[in-house]
A = this chain, B = another copy of it.
Amino acid sequence: MKRYGSVIRVRPEKLEEYKRLHADAWPGVLRMIKACHLQNYSIYYHKGLLFSYFEYTGTDYQADMAKMAADPETHRWWEVCKPCQEPLESRAPGEWWADMEEVFHLD
């Protein structure tokens, strides 16, 4: 199992919409997340920042992420969520959420 932490900004005027969307996320999107071997997935907010944490239990992360991106309902979900977000300039090429470095872990 591999853990992932990542960070992005939320546009202040879109925060409530983002929270509403995620309080009632689309069932097909949630099913696809599970089908792509992500679990224990949380998103936190503070002062313009969103942090996400999830665990990946599959064997081919890139392939699972490609599968998720190819899902039409997930694509529509991202189309409503992405305008709420403002990616960090410090993210790596190709990233939306900026991947963070794990500096500590205790089971």
- Which residues of A are interface residues toward B (Cβ below 8 A)? 3, 5-7, 18-19, 22-23, 25, 30, 33-34, 38-47, 49-53, 88, 90, 98-107
A-B contact pairs, 21 of them (CB 8 A): A5-B44, A5-B53, A6-B46, A7-B49, A7-B51, A18-B103, A19-B103, A22-B103, A23-B104, A25-B104, A25-B106, A40-B106, A42-B53, A42-B102, A42-B104, A44-B103, A45-B103, A46-B98, A46-B99, A47-B98, A51-B100
CB neighbours (8 Å) of A44 from chain B are: 5, 7, 51, 53, 100-103
Interface centre among A18, A30, A34, A46 (most CB of B within 10 A): A46
Cα of A41 to Cα of B44 in the assembled complex, Å: 15
> For the complex formed by this chain, how many copies does it contain in all?
2
Docked Cα-Cα span, A33 to B49, in Å, equals 27
Nearest CB of B to A23, in Å: 7
Q: Taking A7-B51, A49-B7 as contacts, is the C-beta distance between A43 and B98 under 8 angstroms? A: no
